[in-house]
A and B are shown apart, each in its own frame.
Chain A
């Protein structure tokens, strides 16, 4: 089959690789109809996530048709159309029983490696380094889906792929970020990053009843999408004024947002002057893995007693974490990879009810063979790129 593989830092290529096969009774093989490039794939592409190997198949957002299944997969039939969640979860361990699917205790065969890095292992993830299991990803014609009796959700034929594809990651991730903010109605929420996850965090906060949602980014076209499509009520373009904390205070009568969502993660692009120069140099020399501008500003901007929700991906260590502001303002820091399986059905219902059309975020639909150009275009924000869907 054809698959998009990691070929080194800033290099991917579509190559012919062996077809996947059933390895376990609870596996299924999915023929992929649509797959997407995630912002977190760029952390792999940029070389900031350790344990990648040349030839690793990328991609953790995909859907398609079940073409083969193991004996233990009783809930799916060959021919079913399914969306596959990015975290691989067994459904049986203590974490899964608590609904904490992204920290499944059984799905990461390289758990020892992850324990050294994080203290505990996280779940396996498709196409996301050997630290998360070394599973082949979904930017390919076929994928093996472990624990297929737990993860995939069947979807009806009358939706386009792009209306349901993002149930695999970015819609639940954005929803999870908003869910962590305890929105009851009337709150002001700030969202750092108007990329695909940020767009869904904004949309989710609106769906949950937030009064104001402030989108923060440096690309005008992304802020326009936040305003026109996702429902943001205000925007901050930090390419014009880099003092985000002050602008958020001005927009909120000096108090600050009730909650702030960091949908940026380890490669924050804002920050200026000497601090950003030092951070870039430290990250380039691998003496820190995570640039922390967004998280620092989120903590400084959030109102006292508020919530900072972190759904942007961080991989290791960052410097200058503002412990003083965090502690003295009595903030709550809530984080995680989204427990996608927990949100699949309710979010699918939102789509069915017409509360949201997730396809709004797709700006590029390309053949899989264009993966290399697509990664470059997405990374460098060319051609008003927000979200790329690849068709195998």
Chain B
């Protein structure tokens, strides 16, 4: 298991993306008591942008699949930092804790989520594929791509298979 552990694969990351997008654009501003303020507009905009590029990401939950997963993660990081910095750039942090704590908390959540996401998209893969290749007594590529069919077709549509030759055990 790698350290830090990165159990989140691209699909689970997508689940979080859509859930976060839906929550931020709808109830989140009201839940944290900033409804009607510019903080609410900023958070809703961030949620909408996040959901939009999620639909365009090349991962299992993406629709258009235009943005590579690693680029998506980079956008997440940039977005998190931008959202966290916004209250301090605009000066709205002076209007009270509610005008900056949600931004910083969301940025922290996003960065934490990134830290446990596997950038390869494989998620919790913790095997040693090189050890498997070394130990494997078969050649997967040859088995799949070379040699005759393994089945004798009865419908005439597939080529004849060779006999299943008895071999020494």
Report which A residues bind B (CB closer than 8 A).
Answer: 10, 156-161, 163, 185-186, 203, 206-212, 221, 224-225, 228-231, 233, 269, 272-274, 276-277, 280-281, 284, 351, 354-360, 362-367, 370, 372-377, 379-380, 382-386
Interface residues of B in 81-118 (CB under 8 A from A): none
CA of A365 to CA of B135 in the docked complex: distance in angstroms? Answer: 8
Would you call A383 and B129 a contact (CB within 8 A)? yes
Would you call B150 and A365 a contact (CB within 8 A)? no
Q: Which residues of A contact B144 (CB under 8 A)?
A: 221, 224-225, 228-229, 363, 384, 386
Which residue from A224, A354, A356 sits with its C-beta under 8 Å from B145? A224
Residue pairs across A and B with Cβ atoms less than 8 A apart, 26 shown, are: A10-B126, A159-B167, A207-B151, A209-B155, A221-B140, A224-B145, A228-B144, A231-B158, A233-B158, A273-B63, A276-B61, A281-B19, A356-B164, A357-B161, A360-B143, A363-B140, A364-B136, A364-B140, A367-B135, A370-B135, A373-B128, A374-B127, A376-B126, A383-B129, A384-B140, A386-B144
CA of A281 to CA of B11 in the docked complex: distance in angstroms? Answer: 10
Would you call A203 and B151 a contact (CB within 8 A)? yes
CA of A225 to CA of B142 in the docked complex: distance in angstroms? Answer: 10
Report which B residues bind A (CB closer than 8 A).
Answer: 11-12, 14-15, 18-19, 55, 60-63, 122, 124-129, 131-133, 135-138, 140-141, 143-145, 147, 149-155, 157-158, 161-169
Q: Which residues of A contact B155 (CB under 8 A)?
A: 185-186, 206, 209-211
Would you call B127 and A376 a contact (CB within 8 A)? yes
Q: Which residues of A contact B164 (CB under 8 A)?
A: 159, 163, 351, 354-358
CA of A365 to CA of B61 in the docked complex: distance in angstroms? Answer: 34
Q: Which residues of A contact B15 (CB under 8 A)?
A: 277, 280-281, 284
Q: Which residues of A contact B61 (CB under 8 A)?
A: 272-274, 276-277
Would you call A370 and B125 a contact (CB within 8 A)? no
| B41 → chain A closest CB, angstroms | 25
Q: Which residues of A contact B127 (CB under 8 A)?
A: 372-377, 380, 382
CA of A24 to CA of B57 in the docked complex: distance in angstroms? Answer: 58
Decide yes or no: A380 and B60 within 8 Å by CB, A228-B144, A363-B143 being known contacts. no
Q: Which residues of A contact B150 (CB under 8 A)?
A: 203, 229-231, 356-360
Would you call A160 and B135 a contact (CB within 8 A)? no
| B147 → chain A closest CB, angstroms | 8
Q: Which residues of B contact A231 (CB under 8 A)?
A: 149-151, 153, 158
Q: Which residues of B contact A357 (CB under 8 A)?
A: 150, 161-162, 164-165
Would you call B125 and A365 a contact (CB within 8 A)? no
CA of A355 to CA of B14 in the docked complex: distance in angstroms? Answer: 45
CA of A163 to CA of B165 in the docked complex: distance in angstroms? Answer: 9
- Interface hub of A228, A277, A355, A372 (most chain B Cβ within 10 A): A277
Would you call B135 and A382 a contact (CB within 8 A)? no
Would you call B140 and A228 a contact (CB within 8 A)? no
Q: Which residues of B contact A206 (CB under 8 A)?
A: 151, 153-155, 158
- Interface hub of A281, A284, A373 (most chain B Cβ within 10 A): A373
Q: Which residues of A contact B138 (CB under 8 A)?
A: 362-365
CA of A273 to CA of B54 in the docked complex: distance in angstroms? Answer: 10
Closest residue of A by beta carbon distance from B14: A277
CA of A376 to CA of B157 in the docked complex: distance in angstroms? Answer: 37
CA of A376 to CA of B127 in the docked complex: distance in angstroms? Answer: 5
Which residue from A356, A380, A382, A384 sits with its C-beta under 8 Å from B151? A356
| A284 → chain B closest CB, angstroms | 7
Q: Which residues of B contact A157 (CB under 8 A)?
A: 169
Would you call B149 and A228 a contact (CB within 8 A)? yes
CA of A233 to CA of B125 in the docked complex: distance in angstroms? Answer: 33
| B137 → chain A closest CB, angstroms | 4
Q: Which residues of B contact A225 (CB under 8 A)?
A: 143-144
Q: Which residues of A contact B136 (CB under 8 A)?
A: 364-366, 383
| B6 → chain A closest CB, angstroms | 13
Q: Which residues of A contact B149 (CB under 8 A)?
A: 228-231
CA of A354 to CA of B163 in the docked complex: distance in angstroms? Answer: 4
Decide yes or no: A207 and B129 within 8 Å by CB, A367-B135, A380-B122 being known contacts. no
CA of A391 to CA of B63 in the docked complex: distance in angstroms? Answer: 43
Q: Which residues of A contact B140 (CB under 8 A)?
A: 221, 363-364, 383-386
